[in-house]
Structure 1
């Protein structure tokens, strides 16, 4: 791999799997994300994480908006700027700037019932999972999720939380281009975590 910033880690060793991760970023984005440089040290872990996230999303019947709400709420509760910028931008494209900003800023009163329930659940899971109640779960049922979907959404949040924790702990700052490509209102709402570099 190229000798470029991989957070607190050095450059990843060359391998076919690492090269595939890099090529995917270049094809999709036109540049290599800093988090990719971190995960390139063990691409098989990234692949297994990705498979688990995809399985949880599928089992939960989560669409792009649902995932955007869950990840944006998770990232903002954790103080993770990287995923907040990436998923705040995706949520803005799926549901509008106002929804993305409301989730990022924790203004759940500005959301519809489903978005509010998903955002509140993600924050509770991140903040103190042992303090959740049956009423918290009932709020998810009220907006149409069954127990399988609730389990899957919870697994999805936990996996996203783990991903953010790895990236943040290993010093993967948000890519400057990622920040520049995000809507201005999303950039303005993300006032925590590592600054773009």
Structure 2
């Protein structure tokens, strides 16, 4: 990352300890967000609020994040969420969403990926027809709002990571399906260590 590592005070140590407990290592993005643990906590709470009591499934959210990451060329989130999407929906689905090859995917997956892509590329270009396509695959207005809010929050989070040089953790490619790793041919390279 482009910033130095923050001083290791109690809030920073708490973030690092949480990563060590959940992942076994300190994520590069955590080292970045540790400059403001309070902002990290607020961003985490906002993402949790959108997910809590949501009618979107875990797979829906994984599709939205993977498609958002692909449209932004964000390798960090693409690898992290591509692995998650592969475990939820299969490797072919994850690789398709990450590479933009969505024609053969299920209609709901295709519609969610298309929505995330148009929002990333030009939110002013969305149309009533885009929303109608989401309705046609079974999403109600609440789910459509939640999908939009989820994509917006992911954009904010990944913009911080990308602009300040957070490299994807090497651990994200270890054990990841080859097709997922190969589909992420964009963004920052995986960290050397």
Shorter-normalised TM-score: what interval? Answer: over 0.9
Mapped to 1, the partners of 2:114 and 2:48 lie a distance apart of: 22
Tell me the SS of whatever aligns to 2:174: helix
- 1:48 equivalent in structure 2: 42
The runs of 4+ residues in structure 1 deviating greater than 6 Å are: none
Mapped to 1, the partners of 2:165 and 2:137 lie a distance apart of: 37
Q: After superposition, where does 1:1-197 map in structure 2 within 5 Å?
A: 7-197=1-191
Count of aligned residue pairs for this structure pair: 191
Tell me the SS of whatever aligns to 2:56: coil
Mapped to 1, the partners of 2:112 and 2:53 lie a distance apart of: 16
1:60·1:153 contact (CA, 8 Å) conserved in 2? Answer: no
Tell me the SS of whatever aligns to 1:180: coil
CA-CA distance at 1:59 after TM superposition: 5.0
Q: Which moved more, 1:62-71 or 1:129-138?
A: 62-71
1:73·1:119 contact (CA, 8 Å) conserved in 2? Answer: yes
Superposed CA offset, 1:38-91 (max 9, x none): 000101111111111111123542222111100000000000000000000000
Tell me the SS of whatever aligns to 2:16: helix
Mapped to 1, the partners of 2:151 and 2:25 lie a distance apart of: 27
Q: Normalising by structure 2, report the TM-score.
A: 0.95
RMSD: 1.1
1:57·1:153 contact (CA, 8 Å) conserved in 2? Answer: no
Structure 2 residue runs of 5 or longer lacking an equivalent are none
